[in-house]
Structure 1
């Protein structure tokens, strides 16, 4: 673990693994320890992964001002990391809610971004709507799975507005391409990497205007790869295609049988796809 100071003096941590040019990696959650990204299925064989622990997570200090958990306020942390690493331009990879931070960084500092890899990104910053019908259509594809009846019943209660906390936990298998022992074990470990208080502030009011962000990404010159999973109910492939189409140099790669963490579901496909894009 290495550290640097954010612009407000908060000590921030990052982790370097692998070989090759740097790839700054931003975790999702939101506000989950970057440890869950691991070595991104072996991408570290092609790139030096620089995993940033967002403020208040992992090895990074808790900020004096909780308002700085807001995603747009953390753009300054990414820029401070770029300067700390001595990079003129960066390649960024970001997962889920971390993609929101990556996009806000790219919009504010377009001259600093060479390539952008969005891994099953949250559609919130650009206003792409994922409907219950979108999710139902994907969920129906999993009817052959042994866990389907209980998980689908929970989804139906969510869609009907009658969900309890246990229902949100019950639909977890729908976010994985393979809900096997390895996936269950990883999901259980993730519980210790979450930070609910920090997460509550990440998408605070006025963090961004989706209309403005959508317009700004339409002017980005950076090459963008959006990786989606065939079964990911968070961002179904049809909506992922809409999202990728917003970028002048955007391309979409849909992992067959993949879920929300594609580096787990098919590491070889994931590494080959992303490494090819990064060059």
Structure 2
């Protein structure tokens, strides 16, 4: 039984990679999960076959037993969510296997489900077997330390897992806890770029550039003796990993971009007027601290108050703002008084890059671009452009998600990445045309 009972742009997209019975089963699984999320028990149980078997601590045999056993899970908010990562259908098109991740109400990976679907006489699909599920990956021992960039700047890293595929993910301070779930299939290396997180603040400000960030990624790879890997870049670092792939093509096997900054300049994004759901108390506290000069006098407290407001800007659903972890405010590099200077330098360096569509043809490996269609920070249209321009790229649109799409919809984001790491395009990925 699942959980052991416990992102304004119009485009035409090509036909999904998994059209046909596979997509039908994936759609059925998504509808099943949506009914659960919407608390629509009637629709949910209608998708359970009369002779279904749900395997948990005890086996629930038949639709009535499933309804009785699962009814309590419809009391209050949905305790977990799930979605398909892998779907396979028998040659006769009558049975489909669906597996994928489960996330708890806080967006934390809680395990994986497995279900078998049966095609009905009317063409619909119903669950015939569900479970048993599996526990989340045991990350095991976490190695951590510092590696030196070419100029001697110390870069903090953490390494976990021992799988055949290696991921290198910048922004350890934000993303380590999100990506350690891949430790069962990959070796996961997260690190903080210079001037970020626990890494050293470089004295030479001329090195505070996105190109230097790409060279620093190479230093991480070299010092940790990785031959080939999958770089994963979130936000402006989505642009950086593409730069890395152009500069060091022999070192990458695939590339993942999440809510990436665009490679070409877009018109200023409209700032939304609607209420983002920020509590008045949080807004008032930030205003008071700002008026008192806390940005300089009490930088940690100011950081926490600022992000307690800003986090609502980065999610599409205000309810998901609670998933935003403010622990990074303990790190001096992340205090606004320091962070803002770093980002001003990075932003200025991006303005002078001059990346063209022609230059991007140098990236020959598959690129998976994931973006929330409600992103208020980096334009969703930018990821459409990435997908249209790169030689071998596909796009996953995270509907209703903002800049941190993995907080709004971890199921779609991380199931897509996991499938991509297996060497296949994920369900729902499409090439733009």
When normalised by structure 2's length, the TM-score is: 0.51
1:175 lines up with 2:319 in the alignment: no
- 1:123-164 CA distance string (max 9 Å, x none): 1xx11515545x65xx87xx8x7x29x9xxxxxxxxxxxxxx
**Equivalence for 2:392:** 249
More relative contact order, 1 or 2 (CA 8 Å, 6+ apart): 1
- 1:68-87 CA distance string (max 9 Å, x none): 11111232211111111222
1:52 lines up with 2:196 in the alignment: no
8 Å Cα contact 1:75/1:101 also seen in 2: yes
Kindly state the Cα deviation for residue 237 of structure 1 after the two structures are TM-superposed: 3.7
Higher helix share: 1
**Equivalence for 1:127:** 264
Unaligned runs of 5+ in 2: 1-143, 281-304, 423-433
Equivalent residue in structure 2 for 1:63, among 189, 202, 210: 202
Equivalent residue in structure 1 for 2:157, among 3, 11, 14: 14
Kindly state the Cα deviation for residue 18 of structure 1 after the two structures are TM-superposed: 3.7
**Equivalence for 1:113:** 252
Distance (Å, rounded) in 1 between the aligned partners of 2:241 and 2:350: 17
Distance (Å, rounded) in 1 between the aligned partners of 2:366 and 2:349: 30
**Structure ID, larger Rg:** 2
Equivalent residue in structure 1 for 2:214, among 50, 69, 75: 75
1:268 lines up with 2:417 in the alignment: no
Kindly state the Cα deviation for residue 226 of structure 1 after the two structures are TM-superposed: 0.5
How many residue pairs match? The answer is 247
Unaligned runs of 5+ in 1: 28-33, 151-165
Distance (Å, rounded) in 2 between the aligned partners of 1:263 and 1:167: 21
**Equivalence for 2:178:** 40
Equivalent residue in structure 1 for 2:348, among 189, 204, 208: 204
8 Å Cα contact 1:39/1:49 also seen in 2: no
8 Å Cα contact 2:210/2:346 also seen in 1: yes
Distance 1:265 1:12, change over 3 A: same
Distance (Å, rounded) in 1 between the aligned partners of 2:170 and 2:213: 11
8 Å Cα contact 2:261/2:382 also seen in 1: no
Distance (Å, rounded) in 2 between the aligned partners of 1:167 and 1:174: 11
Kindly state the Cα deviation for residue 215 of structure 1 after the two structures are TM-superposed: 2.5
RMSD: 3.1
